[in-house]
Amino acid sequence: MDNEKRVLNTFIEAGRPLSAKEASELCGIEKQEVDKVIKKLKDGGKLESPKRCHYQAKL
C-alpha cells in the first residue's frame, strides 16, 4: 500500500481529527513524509482541517 493510502486510512480509522505527529505514529511513516502526504490529500479534497494543525478525512 502506498503512503497516501496508508495515511488516508489512518485518518478514516481514527474517526477524529489528528495532528501530523499523531498520524505519523499511528501509521508508522516519518512525520516529514506524512506532512507531504497531508498537503497532497488536502489539496485533493480528501482531508479537511477542522482546527489548526489537525486534519480529518472528508467523507
Helices (H), 1-59: 3-14, 20-27, 31-43
pTM for the full predicted model? 0.91
* Highest CATH level, class, for 3-57: mainly alpha
The three-state secondary structure class of 34 is helix
For 20, other C-beta atoms within 10 Å of its C-beta total 20
Provide the residue ranges of all domains of the chain, joining segments of one domain with +: 3-57
Q: Given this model, what pLDDT does residue 59 score?
A: 75
Which residues of the chain fall below pLDDT 50? none
